[in-house]
Structure 1
Amino acid sequence: MQHICNASCTHSKTPAEEALVKEEFQVARRSFLRDAMVAGSSAVSVGALTSTMAPSAFAQSARAGNGMASHYYIPAAANTVLWGYFSKSAKPVVEVQSGDFLTIETLTHHANDDAERMVKGDKGAESVFFWDKQRKGVDRRGAGPMDAKVGAGGGQGVHICTGPVRVQGAEPGDILEVRIVDVALRPSANPAFKGRAFGSNAAANWGFHYGDTLTEPKKREVVTIYEMDATGERNWARAVYNYRWTPQTDPFGIVHATIDYPGVPVNHATVSKNEKILTNIRVPVRPHFGTMGVAPAEAEMVTSIPPNHTGGNIDNWRIGKGATVYYPVAVDGAMFSVGDPHASQGDSELCGTAIECSLTGTFQLILHKKADLPGTPLAELRYPLLETQDEWLLHGFSYANYLAELGPKAQDDIYTKSSVDKALRDAYHKMRHFLMTTQGLGEDEAISLMSIAVDFGITQVVDGNWGVHAVVKKSIFPARG
């Protein structure tokens, strides 16, 4: 399949570019396969991975495969991404089997906030962000109408999602387990910034803070550019400069007075940069994916912004290297996509965004069939479940399945109906269900335990369908046989 390859395939690149891609791919593989890889092969023995990957606590419901797993590499390019939406009917970029590995490039939709640092020289990013007077590299940006005044797709959904990936044999009622094996920063391809990676934080009009500020103007949008060390020698980010958003005219001639459409090129001649900001402040880098999940069944196209029972824009910084997420499959093939990469984010994502920074992740997809779930902890799972080395995390939303609960206009109405109270109530219901079904507790036992040993935190208050996560330590439970 075009642009989907193992380590030995080639694209229409220059020799230097091809060598770089191959080297990056080999480095990504070595970081998690260690010496288990057979040189030149696109398949590895799953058994060989047991020394480097801890088995999932819930893996007993996984159906055994043939003992071999393929490894696919999916570059981010104009023909391998959906910009701003999930779709059950989109053409998959690749079809994989349960147990297969994928190394997937993801791009931040905020890269044009500083194209010199985050787009220039990067062939994949340039193909996605291309925009001149005649056309855009990716025209549809969002699930809205194609003739929207602001731009095709209407910006009703903003995240660049690489995929979808079709999982062979996946059907509604199954569970897709997604293991995040590795995550790496995407280096700037501009020689002037060699060895560095960059991200953008937009304190934007959809932020919780908007209009509630001490200084004028009360309603302002400020973009802050952050720098990371792409070589791995430094694990913190520093602010480079910020600027206040000014009306930007896109190549089609539409004026964007606010940040209302993804990927609008920012003309830096129109903004005033402040370089003495956050002096000596070190922000811990914890790369993760803000948006990851499978396609919902309720509509052909679903905006990427509000999260839902099939995952999506959960925006939990814990969804990074070493984590596993379980998603209920809603459509044939599952149709897995990932995007909205972040270098760092705090709980709540208060101003509207994280450090939006392009990343490359390596994932293993494992399918748990519905028929195999009874009697396992994954039985009755109807929500995204996050597992880390030490914790289980459940995600409550203002509406557990807003598409089903709010009806035909759900993708518009959700933005006026969310509250932290509703999200906390949903998180309580899900944690109660989790404790009763996976740990065998009675309801009164579960409620007592939630009050004394479960932490509830605000995941985000900016994605339309607000989120609260519930965290419980694995160590409080008896060891499983």
Structure 2
Amino acid sequence: MSAVRFSVETVPLDRRRAAWLERLAQLGLQASGASGTIAVSPSSSGALLADLAGEAQALESVAHGPGAPVLLLLVGRGRARLTAGRTALELADGDLVALEMSTAWQMHWRTDFRAVLLRLQRGPLAARLGRVPVRLPVVLGRTVAAAAARPLLRTLAADIENLGQADLAAGEIALTELVASALLGEANAPDGGLTQVQAAHFRRVSAAIDSQLTNADLGLTDIARQEGMSARYLQRLFEGRGENFSDHVRQLRLQRCKVDLLDPNHARESVAAIGQRWGFRDQAHFSRAFSTAFRMTPTEMRRAAVPVDDGYSQRGRPTTHQPVPPAKTPPAGPQEATRPAPEPWPGDRHHLPATADTVHWGYVSRTLPPVLRVEPGATVTIETLTQHSGDDWDRMVAGDAGAESVFGWTSEGKNIDRRGAGPMNASVFGRGAGEGFGVHICTGPIYVRGAEPGDVIEVEIIDIRPRPSGNPLHTGKAFASNASAWWGYQYGDLLDRAKRETVTIFEIDLERPQEARPLYSYVWQPQADPFGVVHKTMDYPGVPVDHTLVEHRAVLEGIAIPARLHFGFVALAPRESELVDSIPPSYFGGNIDNWRAGKGSRIYLPVSVEGGLLSMGDGHFALSDGEINGTGLECSLTGDIRIRLHKAGAADAAACVTGLKAPLIETPDSWVIQSFSHLNYLRDLGRNAQAEVYQKSTVDLALRNAFRQTRRFLMDVYGLNEDEALTIMSLAVDFGVTQVADGNFGVHAVIDKAIFRGRSMR
């Protein structure tokens, strides 16, 4: 039986804690919190595999007495302190720990976390251990068996929702052998001349070092001070084991680097970045130390492990990597200290233009300094630019000072880094610094005074209008682009099987802005950007198209597209990562692409960082459900918005925002429950979530989450019981596919408010 991931956020508020404890009880655990997701897969022998993620909380065992299972726990992400009697261990990313389920212990997670748990039956493990005394809990350290167990656990957890009984049984047998071998290795590990007390001290010191390996400045005195020991005593501990502090730390770091180099999930990360993450500042020193330890260079080890990329496994990744001299890109981007200081708290009306100083391209970040600070209730006129303006530079950029400042790109450099969620090393993908995989030009962020984690920010769309062309030749007109792109649903299913990308340019008469009419279309031909890099596909945003290379043709004669003006991208900053790709939407909003979020609507988003940090962009003149060819009618838009703040726990808090954990759209006539394949992919998919979300999203998962979110909404907001909610969902709620173009697929549910005209909200 395959596992189904359960999310507490989909359960009515008054049932969340009970539901969370019920799921954890399967593993013999209980918790202090009531938030997170879990997927559990049982084996026929009684073993249980679980993939668990959540916010900071305490987990503890429910003691089962003699003969209880042994729990194996792998920390995917997070920091925790494990206490069992007099034993205390600090746990960090990558730590593998074996725990007794027959005795009491507590694990205090201080941060958001993700962990893989495997509950093993004691019998087979005890038979393998024989009479060798093993004391648990223990962190399985540098043994070969422990090193082999970690990737196997990760692999099983990564596919837990499709894991068959045979696969789990085979994994259970293999892991029992590996864990037994690792435990025997720990039991027989030489401690030199250390006494029992000194050996315990050393294990504590080793755990502290493991949790801080990313700190390049880590020193012996730091650990001594942290653990309440003298530096001299700490030196004697290492001497008793026949090693020194520096060698010990270096070997641990090299092991972590090796694991990442062999992990396909890190194939897109440069060797230098991996070394720097684990504390090696000097690339040459890292390479020498690695070669000495493993008898091959880091690059040679990676070549043996990294799979070939087909160029289309993820949006925005090219088929060839052509290096560009880093000097061609200015050293500082808008996400750095060059951004102007935000204005102080002024009145309640603001204008935020779109310029190189007020936008960020391709990412959101909790570290971005705000370009505007507002009081709750303020109105803002916010300008946005479409990333597709380069499709027709003459009509959509030329003569527009704001657009020219953002799109400025010559052979000497760019005015603004693009795809800022990516590596700053220009040689990684060959397109210049800040080349991640996002595409959207985002205006902001806007800091909302008083917004704190747990609150909800409401963005009311008062009005939206197309941005006029700045070119005097096109006065009174606005323009938009639609691209049948390589990331669209259609790309591998064309009738003639000839893969192509077709761009269609539309004109909007500003005296009749209710419709857009097609001007012409062209098939994308390889385009050389100002750096000389040739783009065979639309793999990088804002490349100015050379129209001497493409053939214009008449298209869609007699057709007019009705206006559905909306901002496809409305986001607060997520807390889970410093730089987040703008393409996949999530709990924080982002690239939602739901046309119902237009004039007169309100978008409610949960706050996860101080000030919220609101950004908007990805203007669409029109869009249909599904966004089937990969884009909408992409258009630069200006909007008037009002920003409100709903404080958590307020006595007058509306039922619709209480406990909100996902985007909610309200129109004058309906509620729109917006859901995705993964409600919080950054939390639930682990350290490589921004890559895995593209591979692990399905419409089925999105529909299941939309169903659960809608059931929760009807029960929490209108006080229905579950059976009543199910009836309403099947008779008066329309479920639709929002988009299949944005990595994290979207499904929405539209609830007509009229059906509740005889019933009040709670």
- Classify the TM-score, shorter chain: 0.7 to 0.9
Distance 1:330 1:292, change over 3 A: same
AA paired with 2:451? A
Aligned residue for 2:424?
146
Task: Assess if the C-alpha contact under 8 Å between 2:489 and 2:630 holds in 1.
Answer: yes
What is the alpha-carbon root mean square deviation over aligned residues?
1.8
> What are the within-5 Å matches in structure 2 for residues 148-163 of structure 1?
148-163=429-444
Moved over 3 A (4+): 1-6, 373-376
Task: Assess if the C-alpha contact under 8 Å between 2:342 and 2:370 holds in 1.
Answer: no
How many angstroms does 1:142 deviate by? 3.5
1:78 aligns with 2:346: no
Give the counterpart of 1:192 among 459, 473, 480: 473
1:169 aligns with 2:447: no
Task: Assess if the C-alpha contact under 8 Å between 2:647 and 2:653 holds in 1.
Answer: no
Task: Assess if the C-alpha contact under 8 Å between 1:5 and 1:72 holds in 2.
Answer: no
> What are the within-5 Å matches in structure 2 for residues 35-54 of structure 1?
none
Q: Secondary structure at the match of 1:445?
A: helix
Task: Assess if the C-alpha contact under 8 Å between 2:663 and 2:675 holds in 1.
Answer: no
1:258 aligns with 2:537: yes
Task: Assess if the C-alpha contact under 8 Å between 2:450 and 2:611 holds in 1.
Answer: yes
Aligned residue for 1:214?
495
> What are the within-5 Å matches in structure 2 for residues 273-352 of structure 1?
273-274=552-553, 276-352=554-630
Q: For 1:202-254, what per-residue CA distance to the aligned partner results, in whole angstroms no more than 9, with x for missing partners?
A: 1001000002011251x1111110111123x2411111111111111111111
Give the counterpart of 1:450 among 679, 704, 729: 729
Aligned residue for 2:660?
381
Distance 1:373 1:208, change over 3 A: farther
Q: Give me the whole-angstrom Cα distance separating, in 1, the residues matched to 2:699 and 2:671.
A: 21
The structure carrying a bigger helix percent of its residues is 2
Q: Give me the whole-angstrom Cα distance separating, in 2, the residues matched to 1:373 and 1:291.
A: 31
Q: Give me the whole-angstrom Cα distance separating, in 2, the residues matched to 1:334 and 1:108.
A: 23
Q: Give me the whole-angstrom Cα distance separating, in 2, the residues matched to 1:337 and 1:297.
A: 15
Aligned residue for 1:204?
485
How many angstroms does 1:293 deviate by? 1.6
Aligned residue for 2:304?
none
AA paired with 2:510? A
Task: Assess if the C-alpha contact under 8 Å between 1:196 and 1:229 holds in 2.
Answer: yes
Aligned residue for 1:49?
none
How many angstroms does 1:3 deviate by? 10
Q: Give me the whole-angstrom Cα distance separating, in 2, the residues matched to 1:4 and 1:390.
A: 37
1:249 aligns with 2:532: no
Q: Give me the whole-angstrom Cα distance separating, in 2, the residues matched to 1:348 and 1:140.
A: 26
Q: Secondary structure at the match of 1:170?
A: coil
Q: Give me the whole-angstrom Cα distance separating, in 1, the residues matched to 2:474 and 2:467.
A: 12
AA paired with 1:101? T
Distance 1:295 1:468, change over 3 A: same
Aligned residue for 2:158?
none
Q: TM-score, normalised by structure 1?
A: 0.84
Distance 1:428 1:249, change over 3 A: same
Consecutive unaligned residues in structure 2, runs of 5 or more:
1-338
Give the counterpart of 2:712 among 425, 430, 433: 433
Aligned residue for 1:354?
632
Aligned residue for 1:228?
508
Task: Assess if the C-alpha contact under 8 Å between 1:150 and 1:260 holds in 2.
Answer: no
Q: Give me the whole-angstrom Cα distance separating, in 1, the residues matched to 2:718 and 2:589.
A: 23
Q: Give me the whole-angstrom Cα distance separating, in 2, the residues matched to 1:124 and 1:254.
A: 25
Task: Assess if the C-alpha contact under 8 Å between 2:451 and 2:610 holds in 1.
Answer: yes
1:132 aligns with 2:410: yes
Moved more, 414-423 or 371-380: 371-380
1:182 aligns with 2:454: no
Task: Assess if the C-alpha contact under 8 Å between 1:3 and 1:75 holds in 2.
Answer: no
Q: For 1:348-387, what per-residue CA distance to the aligned partner results, in whole angstroms no more than 9, with x for missing partners?
A: 0000000100000011110111121686312111110000
Task: Assess if the C-alpha contact under 8 Å between 2:506 and 2:516 holds in 1.
Answer: yes
Q: TM-score, normalised by structure 2?
A: 0.54
Q: Secondary structure at the match of 1:371?
A: coil
Q: For 1:148-184, what per-residue CA distance to the aligned partner results, in whole angstroms no more than 9, with x for missing partners?
A: 3233332411000000000011110000011001101
Q: For 1:417-462, what per-residue CA distance to the aligned partner results, in whole angstroms no more than 9, with x for missing partners?
A: 1110000001001000100000001111111110111000000000
Aligned residue for 2:693?
414
AA paired with 2:476? G
AA paired with 2:670? E
Task: Assess if the C-alpha contact under 8 Å between 2:343 and 2:372 holds in 1.
Answer: no
Give the counterpart of 2:396 among 113, 118, 126: 118
Task: Assess if the C-alpha contact under 8 Å between 1:158 and 1:262 holds in 2.
Answer: yes
Task: Assess if the C-alpha contact under 8 Å between 1:222 and 1:243 holds in 2.
Answer: yes
Q: Give me the whole-angstrom Cα distance separating, in 2, the residues matched to 1:192 and 1:3.
A: 36
Distance 1:317 1:158, change over 3 A: same
Aligned residue for 1:424?
703
Aligned residue for 2:219?
none
| Structure with higher RCO (Cα < 8 A, 6+ apart) | 1
Moved more, 145-154 or 258-267: 145-154
1:475 aligns with 2:754: yes
Q: Give me the whole-angstrom Cα distance separating, in 1, the residues matched to 2:697 and 2:547.
A: 36
Task: Assess if the C-alpha contact under 8 Å between 2:677 and 2:744 holds in 1.
Answer: yes
How many angstroms does 1:401 deviate by? 0.5
Distance 1:375 1:365, change over 3 A: closer
How many angstroms does 1:2 deviate by? 6.3
Distance 1:168 1:234, change over 3 A: closer
Q: Give me the whole-angstrom Cα distance separating, in 2, the residues matched to 1:335 and 1:81.
A: 13
Aligned residue for 2:117?
none
Q: Give me the whole-angstrom Cα distance separating, in 2, the residues matched to 1:271 and 1:317.
A: 31
Q: Secondary structure at the match of 1:177?
A: strand
Moved more, 251-260 or 372-381: 372-381
Aligned residue for 1:464?
743
AA paired with 1:459? T
Q: Secondary structure at the match of 1:268?
A: coil
Distance 1:76 1:339, change over 3 A: same
Q: Secondary structure at the match of 1:449?
A: helix
Aligned residue for 1:404?
683
Moved more, 359-368 or 369-378: 369-378
Q: Give me the whole-angstrom Cα distance separating, in 2, the residues matched to 1:85 and 1:411.
A: 11
Q: Secondary structure at the match of 1:151?
A: coil
AA paired with 1:188? S
The percentage of aligned residue pairs carrying the same residue is 53
Aligned residue for 2:376?
98
Q: Give me the whole-angstrom Cα distance separating, in 2, the residues matched to 1:240 and 1:73.
A: 32
What count of residue pairs does the alignment treat as equivalent?
418
Consecutive unaligned residues in structure 1, runs of 5 or more:
7-41, 44-68
Q: Give me the whole-angstrom Cα distance separating, in 2, the residues matched to 1:349 and 1:261.
A: 19
Q: Secondary structure at the match of 1:457?
A: strand
Q: Secondary structure at the match of 1:252?
A: coil
Q: Give me the whole-angstrom Cα distance separating, in 2, the residues matched to 1:155 and 1:342.
A: 23
Q: Give me the whole-angstrom Cα distance separating, in 1, the residues matched to 2:731 and 2:658.
A: 26
For the pair shown, which has the larger CA radius of gyration, 1 or 2?
2
Q: Give me the whole-angstrom Cα distance separating, in 1, the residues matched to 2:460 and 2:422.
A: 32
Q: Secondary structure at the match of 1:102?
A: strand
Task: Assess if the C-alpha contact under 8 Å between 1:187 and 1:196 holds in 2.
Answer: yes
